Amino acid sequence: MKAPILAPSLLASNFAYLAEAVRQIEASGAEWTHLDVMDGVFVPELTFGAKMVADLRPLSSTVFDVHLMTVNPERLVEGFARAGADYITFHIEAAVHAHRTITAIKDSGKKAGISIVPSTSITAIEEILPFVDLVLVMTVNPGYGGQKLIPQCLEKVKQLVQIREEKGYSFLISVDGGVKIETVSTVRDAGVDVMVAGEAFFRAEDKAAMVLQLKGIAGKI
């Protein structure tokens, strides 16, 4: 099995040093940078908006993986596309016209992702699976870093792997929340393509070594 892509989440970094955090991600060998956008409505906390993404964009050549934890995601597509996001992912729980929003993201030249919280089942996104580039399965309730992975959510990853195979779809499957050394083998075994890691990455002294360990290729290259 191919090693999954690692997407360290800036949420776990010191926001007073975001530029340095973005550089640390690239230097570690991680392929993607995960940017958590919180609006204080869909989730209790607030983080940052498109201007922050635009300002950080020139500092990194990693893939910018924007995770919108916001209501009315359709209003934000244009701004984040212009800011230089590569993937724009929003929550099905925050969208009525999800297909329209996916189309808008793709029309802006970006990859479109759909996310589900732990209490949402795959059936809620079944109709739009043919149109998305990424499915982000939350393994914690969104809003905070450093929470415990809910193992039952990994069943949804397995279901998605099966549906993708059966129907010939091509989306990537990503997992977000509680990915760390103690849980990562179960996450990889479920068949993910991308793993988001916040605290596990930013708490590690040796970030490059942590990336290899999480990807399951430490000592193999």
Q: Which of 36, 39, 65, 133 is catalytic?
A: 36
Part of the chain binding ligand DX5 (CB under 6 A), chosen from 16-24, 57-65, 163-171, 174-182: 174-182
Interaction residues for ligand DX5, span 16-35 (CB under 6 A): 34
Residue 157: contacted member of Zn ion, ligand DX5, none (CB under 5 to 8 Å, by partner type)? none
Is there binding between residue 199 and ligand DX5 (CB under 6 A)?
yes
Measured between alpha carbons, how far is 18 from 24 in angstroms, rounded to an integer?
10
Is there binding between residue 113 and ligand DX5 (CB under 6 A)?
no
Q: Is 176 a catalytic residue?
A: yes
Q: Which of 39, 176, 189, 193 is catalytic?
A: 176
Q: Is 189 a catalytic residue?
A: no
Q: What angle do CA 135, 82, 62 make, to 5 degrees?
A: 60
The binding site for Zn ion (CB under 5 A) comprises 36, 67, 176
CB-CB contact of 132 with 171 (8 Å): yes
Q: Which is nearer to ligand DX5, 101 or 183 (CB)?
A: 183
Q: What is the 3-state secondary structure (H, E, C) of the chain?
A: CCCCEEEEEHHHCCHHHHHHHHHHHHHHCCCEEEEEEEECCCCCCECCCHHHHHHHHHHCCCEEEEEEECCCHHHCHHHHHHHCCCEEEEEHHHCCCHHHHHHHHHHCCCEEEEEECCCCCHHHHHHHHHHCCEEEEECCCCCCCCCCCCHHHHHHHHHHHHHHHHHCCCCEEEEECCCCCCCHHHHHHHCCCEEEECHHHHCCCCHHHHHHHHHCCCCCC
Measured between alpha carbons, how far is 35 from 66 in angstroms, rounded to an integer?
5
Min. distance of Cβ 130 from ligand DX5 in angstroms?
A: 25
Rg of the chain, C-alpha, whole Å: 16
Residue 147: contacted member of Zn ion, ligand DX5, none (CB under 5 to 8 Å, by partner type)? ligand DX5
Among positions 6, 11, 114, 175, the unique one binding ligand DX5 when judged by CB under 6 A: 11
Among positions 5, 30, 33, 36, the unique one binding ligand DX5 when judged by CB under 6 A: 36
Q: Which residue is nearest to ligand DX5 (CB)?
A: 198
Residue 8: contacted member of Zn ion, ligand DX5, none (CB under 5 to 8 Å, by partner type)? none
Q: Which is nearer to Zn ion, 74 or 176 (CB)?
A: 176
Binding site for ligand DX5 (CB under 6 A): 9, 11-12, 34, 36, 67, 140, 142-147, 176-179, 196-200
**Catalytic positions:** 36, 176
